[in-house]
Amino acid sequence: MGFFRRTAAALAAVLTLATPVHAESPGDVADTPPPPSGPPAPAYQQLSTDSNVLTPSLETAADIDAFLARTPLAGLGADFIRAEAETGVNARFLVGITWVENNSGASYLAQTQHNLFSFVGDGPGGWASYPSFQNSIQTSAAYIGKEYARPGGIHYRGGTIAAISSVYASDSGWGVKVARAANFIGPSQGAPFAGTVHLAAVADGHLTLHVANQGYVPWDAALGAQLLVHYRWAHRGQSVTGVVSVAAPALRSGGEADLAVPGVVQPDAGSWRLDVFAELAGPGWAADLGGGARDSLPLSLGGSSNSPDDQLIRDRPPAR
């Protein structure tokens, strides 16, 4: 019973702002049967030389960490996942390159110049130098995504591992080696759908939520994906609840975004507590995003007048 139970499949299908319901207490909010099932998760596919490097890796930071645990890049799984989220370049492919080029950080070039992808530059020996492994991962992934993986790039030959291999390395077997190394990571052991929600701002009759995808399935890979944002205003035994549906941002694992949620207004002046939780939903399905997909915030604003003075802005959560 209560606020934190899943709403009906009809909410996932309608995907529109629900009319707030006044209840005598938080426990009076009616429950309804859950949708029949969650969305189907994309199937894991091993990489081959024919694979496009912009396909989702379907991995989480923990999956990458498990592979890198005994290498100098141990603990940097989140950086590879973040690089994929920001550039679109498959994290397994990126890890495979580092394994082939320097046993994932073990070579002299990697140790002295943090050069994990063997790019030339103006550093010692004519090689590029980076301030950290993290910077090397992010900078190199962005360069590969722009110049090797997408039309218009100076090294673009089709965007597959084989096409990139033809201009990236003199070793004709480089692409096969990279794909083989990448495939040792294996299917994700994490949750397909998981996320976090942080109440970042309340102003002008809408919320700003900072959301992050912590599962291995990209949110835009699920058919008709929307975020159902359930909210409750609570004050001295009173409760005002509602549901707002907004288009799910196209986030891969590790991706983050600020999301505007309209129509959520403090009912009256005084001290209220605002609770929110979110789930991913679409026609006929809904997916629980886990315990991190909820947040709570005590507020004391002037009321529901939407005055510019009635606003609150919070700091973002620390980077994960």
* Residue 205 clears pLDDT 60, i.e. is over it: yes
Question: Does residue 174 sit in the same domain as residue 196?
Answer: no
Instruction: Report pLDDT for 37.
Output: 62
Confidence of residue 133 (pLDDT cuts 50, 70, 90): very high
- Whether 259 is in a domain gets the answer yes
Instruction: State yes or no: pLDDT of 257 exceeds 60.
Output: yes
Count the domains in the chain: 2
Percent of the chain, pLDDT > 90? Answer: 70
The answer to whether residue 271 is domain-embedded is yes
Q: Model confidence over 11-52: pLDDT tens digits?
A: 333 333 333 333 344 444 445 555 446 677 899 999 999 999
Query: Amino acid letter at 12?
Result: A
Q: What is the pLDDT of residues 72-128, one digit of tens each?
A: 999 999 999 999 999 999 999 999 999 999 999 999 999 999 999 999 999 999 999
HSE, CB side, 13 Å, CA atoms: give it for residue 229. Answer: 28
Among all chains, which residue has been given the structure tokens 């909010």? Answer: 29
- What pLDDT score was predicted for residue 18? 38
Q: Reply yes or no on whether the pLDDT at 320 is more than 60.
A: no
Residues 173 and 204 in one domain: no
Question: Average pLDDT of 312-318?
Answer: 50
pTM attached to this predicted model = 0.82
Q: Is residue 3 part of a domain?
A: no
**Residues 306, 206 share a domain:** yes
Structure-token pair, residue 158? 């089709």
Q: List the domain range (segments joined by +) for residue 256.
A: 9-39+192-313
Q: Are residues 178 and 209 in the same domain?
A: no
* Residues 202, 107 within the same domain: no
| 47, part of any domain | no
**pLDDT attached to residue 206:** 80
| Residue 291, number of CB atoms within 10 A of its CB | 10
Same domain, 202 and 242: yes
What's the CATH code of the domain at 260? Answer: 2.60.40
Is residue 286 helix, strand or coil?
strand
- Report if residue 44 sits inside a domain: no
